[in-house]
Amino acid sequence: MKKFLFTFLAAAFAAALSISAQQDMKPPVPKKVPSVLKIHGYEIVDNYAWMRDRNEKKDPEIIKFLEEENAYTDFHMGKHQGFVDSLYKEMLGRIKQTDLSVPYKKGNYWYFTKVEEGKQYPTFLRSRTSDGASPEILLDQNKMAEGFQYFAISIFEPSDDGNLLAFATDTTGYRQYLLQVKDLRTGEILSDKIERVTSAEWSPDGKYLFVGQEDEVSKRSDKIWRHELGTKNTKLIFEEKDVYFNSGVGRSRDGQMYFIASYAKTSTEYRYLPANAVKDGTFSVLAPRREGHEYYADFDRGEFYIRTNKDAENFKVMRVSQKDPNERFWRDFVPYNPKVKIEGIEFFKDHAVVSELENGLEYLRVMDRRTRRAPMRILTDESVYTMGLGYNPEYDTPVVRYGYSSMITPNSTFEFDFASRKSKLIKQQEIPSGYDRSKYETVRVWADARDGIKVPISIMMKKGTKLDGMSPMLLYAYGSYGYSMTPNFSTNRLSLVDRGMIYAIAHIRGGSELGEKWRQDGRMFKKMNTFNDFVDCSKWLIKNKYTSADRLVIQGGSAGGLLMGAVMNQAPELFKAAIVQVPFVDVMNTMIDDTLPLTTEEWVEWGNPRDDKKAWDYMFSYSPYDQIRKMAYPNMLVDVSLNDSQVPYWEGAKYAAKIREYKTNDSIVLLRTNMGAGHGGSSGRYDRLKEIAFEYAYALTQVGLEK
Which residues carry out catalysis?
558, 644, 679
Q: Residue 605: name the closest of 245, 278, 306, 362 by CA.
A: 245
Beta bridge partners of 308: 295, 316
Q: Residue 132: name the closest of 426, 428, 430, 431 by CA.
A: 426
Report whether 260 contacts 270 (CB < 8 A). Answer: yes
Contacts for 344 with CB less than 8 Å, ≥ 6 apart:
296, 307, 354, 355, 389
**Alpha helix ranges (H) inside 477-622:** 494-497, 516-520, 528-543, 559-570, 587-591, 599-606, 613-620
Contacts for 705 with CB less than 8 Å, ≥ 6 apart:
472, 499, 500, 501
Q: Residue 152: name the closest of 701, 705, 687, 693 by CA.
A: 687
Cα(307)–Cα(159) distance, integer angstroms: 28
81-93 vs 60-78: helix crossing angle, rounded to 10:
80
Cα(635)–Cα(232) distance, integer angstroms: 56
Q: How far is CA 457 from CA 32, 503, 534, 604, 699, in A?
A: 42, 10, 10, 28, 20
Contacts for 556 with CB less than 8 Å, ≥ 6 apart:
476, 477, 478, 562, 563, 564, 579, 580, 581, 583
Report whether 206 contacts 229 (CB < 8 A). Answer: yes
Q: How many CB atoms lie within 10 A of CB 490?
A: 17
Q: How many CB atoms lie within 10 A of CB 689?
A: 17
Cα(262)–Cα(223) distance, integer angstroms: 10
Cα(306)–Cα(596) distance, integer angstroms: 33
Which of helix, strand or coil describes residue 628? coil
Report whether 343 contacts 356 (CB < 8 A). Answer: yes
Backbone angles phi, psi at 626, to 5 degrees: -80, -20
Report whether 552 contacts 574 (CB < 8 A). Answer: yes
Cα(75)–Cα(25) distance, integer angstroms: 8
Cα(476)–Cα(481) distance, integer angstroms: 16
Cα(170)–Cα(283) distance, integer angstroms: 30
List the end-to-end C-alpha distance of the chain, in Å, as a whole number. Answer: 41
Contacts for 28 with CB less than 8 Å, ≥ 6 apart:
65, 68, 69, 72
Cα(175)–Cα(322) distance, integer angstroms: 37
Q: Residue 453: name the closest of 524, 514, 383 by CA.
A: 514
Q: How many CB atoms lie within 10 A of CB 15?
A: 10
